[in-house]
Amino acid sequence: MTAWKDSAGGRRVMAVLSSRPFLTVAIVAAVWIAASFASRGFGAYGHLRYLVELGAVIGLVAAGQTFVVIAGGIDLSVAAIVTVSAISLPLLSWGADPTGLAPVLAVLALTTIIGLVNGLGVALLRVHPMIMTLAMATFLQGLLIIIAGGSAVTAENPLVHWLGNARPAGIPAGVLLWVAVSVIVLTVMHATPFGARIFAMGANPLAAALSGVPVTPTTLAVYGISGFTSGLAGVLVLGMNGQGYVGIGDPYLLASIAAVVLGGTSILGGLGTYAGTIPGAILLVTITALITVVNASPGWRSILFGSLILGLLLLSGREQARR
């Protein structure tokens, strides 16, 4: 047994088994198995597929958030950006475009620019990321209220509708989108110099700068990515929902940060992986589903949700103090 553990392959297996992403996957599996015994219908294929579909929205928002957190920052404007995306898309009605692609690209460009502005504030004006993105969120919220008011806007965009409702080969289009984004994110994060720069900046910004890492462009890129993936999540949630309204993105702020941290990424930056964020996002929607099953009132649902996230983080997410 010990000989097996000491072999090179054995060590690699042990490393995977004791890694945080794997731990999060294990918790998700345990919760699913337990819940499907406790509640009829929970373990049905349709229900699990629905959970993953819901997880896709969190997963997209958390993709950008993972980049930002690994780089040593935090993006508190993701929820507002999701809402911006979901509200401005229906407003951009371009009858000339039968596919609906042009408005989607325009909205994604807009949200990416919002992210870049966050990056400018953080990198050039040296505003703390928390302040910068929180101010951005507040600014956007005000703008949205002025533009959209209290009314919901309906999307009549074929691409968005397809994304939210189609199931090619039985798999929801949103989930396929999430898979594609995940592949790209994991490649960029772990297999390119850009990814390595982000880890270096998060672990020690000063040493990274002195090693020649172009800190300003990299910071801009990271927040730009966060704006982009939040915008993508907004498009998806609009498609699933059919309507956009002020506040539609609100649940995704805490969810995106929780998914990142549950997945083992250090909130201090410099360590982590999107491979952990993915099960982290699914774990979050699973918890939400469980709470719904319990049939509690909305107030109690929130209290349960918050407590469970805190409990899970205490269980697995506490970090060692850094020297």
Partner 1 sequence: MAPLLAARGVSKAFFGNPVLRDVSIALRPGRVHALLGENGAGKSTLINLLSGALRPDGGTIEVDGREVSRMTPVHARQAGIAVVQQELSLTASLSIAENIGLGAYPKRFGLVDYRELAARAKAACELVGLHEPLSTPVGQLPLGRRQMVEIAKALYRKPRVLILDEPTSSLSATETKILTDLLERLRGEGIAILYISHRLNEVMTLCQHVTVLKDGTCTADQSLEGTDAAGLVRLMVGRDPGDLFPQWRPSASPATAISVRNFSAGLMHDVDLDIRTGEVLGIGGLVGQGQEDLLLGLYGAIPARTASATVNGASGLPGGVPKANALGLAYVPADRKREGLHLIHTITTNMMLPAFARLPALKLRSRRAERETARGLAAQLGIKGDLARQAQALSGGNQQKVALAKWMPHDPLVLLLNDPTRGVDVETKREIYLMLRAFAAAGKAVVLLSSDTPELVHLCERVAVVRDGRIAAMLDRAALSEEAIVSAAMGAENRKVAA
User: Judged by CB under 8 A, does residue 125 bind partner 1?
Assistant: no
186 is a contact residue toward partner 1 (CB under 8 A): no
Distance separating alpha carbons of residues 63 and 290, to the nearest angstrom: 24
- Residue 197 or 251: which CB sits closer to partner 1? 197
Q: Tell me the C-alpha distance between 122 and 73, whole Å.
A: 9
Considering only residues 33-72, where is the footprint of partner 1 by CB under 8 A?
A: none
d(CA 257, CA 104): 25
* 200 near partner 1, rule: CB under 8 A: yes
To partner 1, the closest distance from the beta carbon of 222 in angstroms equals 12
89 or 222, CB closer to partner 1?
Answer: 222
Ramachandran assignment for 74, one of left (phi > 0), alpha (psi -120 to 50 degrees), beta (any other): beta
**Which residues, 6+ apart, have CB-to-CB distance to 271 below 8 Å?**
70, 199, 202, 203, 265
212 binds partner 1 (CB under 8 A): yes
CB of 104 to partner 1, least distance (A): 23
CA dihedral (37, 39, 43, 45) in degrees, to 10, reads: 150
Type of residue at 121: G
Question: Is residue 206 within the footprint of partner 1 (CB under 8 A)?
Answer: yes
Size of the chain, expressed as the number of residues it contains: 323
Of the candidate spans 52-60, 84-92, 196-204, 254-262, the one that interacts with partner 1 by CB under 8 A turns out to be 196-204
Instruction: Rule CB under 8 A: say whether 323 interacts with partner 1.
Output: yes
Rounded least distance, CB 12 to partner 1, Å: 11
**Distance in angstroms (rounded) separating the CA atoms of residues 185 and 75:** 17
- Is the CB of 270 or the CB of 317 nearer to partner 1? 270
Residue among 179, 110, 119 at smallest CA distance from 140: 110
Nearest approach in angstroms of CB 5 to partner 1 is: 16
- Crossing angle (nearest 10°) for helices 158-165 and 101-123: 80
Q: Which is nearer to partner 1, 214 or 306 (CB)?
A: 214
Distances 134 to 57, 214, 233, 266, 274 between C-alpha atoms, Å = 21, 25, 19, 21, 23
Q: How far is the CB of 71 from partner 1 (least distance, A)?
A: 13
Q: How far apart are the first and last CA of the chain?
A: 35
Pinpoint the alpha helices (H) of 39-91: 45-70, 78-91
Looking at 73-81, 144-152, 162-170, 199-207, which segment touches partner 1 (CB under 8 A)? 199-207
The reply on whether position 210 binds partner 1 by CB under 8 A is: yes
Stretch that binds partner 1, among 68-76, 212-220, 277-285, 295-303 (CB under 8 A): 212-220
Choices 111-119, 169-177, 201-209, 241-249 (CB under 8 A): range interacting with partner 1: 201-209
Q: Which residues bind partner 1 (CB under 8 A)?
A: 187-188, 191-194, 196-197, 199-200, 203-204, 206-214, 270-271, 322-323
